[in-house]
Amino acid sequence: MYCACAKINCIMLLGVQVSIAGRIYEAVERAKELGCNTMQIFSRNPRQWRHGELEKEEIIEFRKRREKAKISPLFIHIPYTLNLASPDAALYHKSIEVYIKDIKEAGLLGADYLVTHLGSHMKKGENWGLGRFVNALNIILDKTPSEVEILLENTSGSGSWLGYKFQHHKIILDKIHKPQRVGICLDTCHAYTAGYDIASEKGLNNMLEEMDNLVGLEKLKLVHLNDAKDTLGSRRDRHAHIGEGIIGKEAFKRIVHHPQLKDLPFILETPKRIAEDDRRNLEVVRNL
């Protein structure tokens, strides 16, 4: 999207979570058809454990098509099956092992960032879960390529999920061995239902000030742009179409124009009930 800024054109970095159905390189064509200049994918089925590896030819074709389409940056979201805060020893160690394989594969695909949730402590306590996560992340950082940066996504805080407040992100960044390889992903729906009133101008500024004080806004590399179906502080993770949820269109207009956010990549993870949903949500954001 282009906007008049003095005598230059400003390009908004806007994309969606794109399906990898068929061959993974077909996701690039889907993003291109939607007019995206950035994109996010799962590199495999997000609700299953790994089954085999991507073929070399698929990786080469993906990189070639992405370069031709000029889609950058590329974000890969870690699958939901992994839990780096799990008290279950088998699940915990398997999550670390698979995470290492996933981030290496992300590097082969040419991904710039890998987006990750912080996991669930399963009622063992937040401090316990954060310690568990830090230990896992240090192992992963030591065994994976440095060109892929890991982004810690905030959560709504449902159940025992970590990451619903930025104090959690600060604890992790303070304790990991290679903080230069780790940044933050802000999800607007998650922030709102976790209790940050980003629907108001004051609430948005207060949240950004808190982020800056705790982790530094230079760590913020991506915004997941999603409206919320549920009320402020409800701790429920249900996304809505842009402008059709409780956060509302005026709030998203403030977000995409905010001087501390407007130059960041925005990725939509809005509901996909019909084929045109992504196109419709992208158009709403472009019109803002």
Query: Could you tell me the two tokens for 259?
Result: 């001087």
Catalytic residue among 190, 192, 227, 278: 190
CB crowding 72-104: b at 16 or more within 10 Å, else e? ebbbbbbbeebbbbbbeeebbebbbebbbebbe
241 is catalytic: no
Q: Which of 44, 168, 169, 239 is catalytic?
A: 239
- Is 97 a catalytic site residue? no
Which is the catalytic residue, given 44, 117, 121, 168?
A: 117
Active-site residue among 80, 93, 250, 257?
80
Is there a catalytic annotation at residue 196? Answer: no
Please, are residues 287 and 250 in contact by the beta-carbon 8 Å criterion?
A: no
Which of 112, 126, 227, 237 is labelled catalytic?
A: 237
DSSP state, residue 219:
G
DSSP string computed for 16-43 = EB----SSTTHHHHHHHHTT-SSEEE-S
Catalytic-labelled residue, pool 102, 126, 153, 227: 153
Tell me, yes or no, if 258 is annotated catalytic: no
Pairing of strands 266-268, 14-16: parallel
Can you give the C-alpha Rg of the chain in angstroms? 18
Do 235 and 157 meet the contact criterion of CB atoms below 8 Å apart?
Answer: yes
Residue 20's alpha-carbon distances to 145, 167, 206, in angstroms, are 23, 34, 37
Task: State yes or no: is 164 an active-site residue.
Answer: no
Q: Is 80 in the active site?
A: yes
Instruction: Say whether 153 is catalytic.
Output: yes
Among residues 77, 132, 168, 169, the one annotated as catalytic is 77
Selecting among 224, 227, 230, 278, the annotated active-site residue is: 224
Q: What's the sign of the alpha-carbon dihedral 274, 276, 282, 287?
A: negative
Choose the catalytic residue: 269, 279, 283, 286: 269
The residue with tokens 């960041």 is: 264
Measured between alpha carbons, how far is 123 from 175 in angstroms, rounded to an integer?
A: 22
Q: Which of these is catalytic: 102, 126, 187, 227?
A: 187
Residues carrying an active site annotation: 47, 77, 80, 117, 153, 187, 190, 224, 237, 239, 269
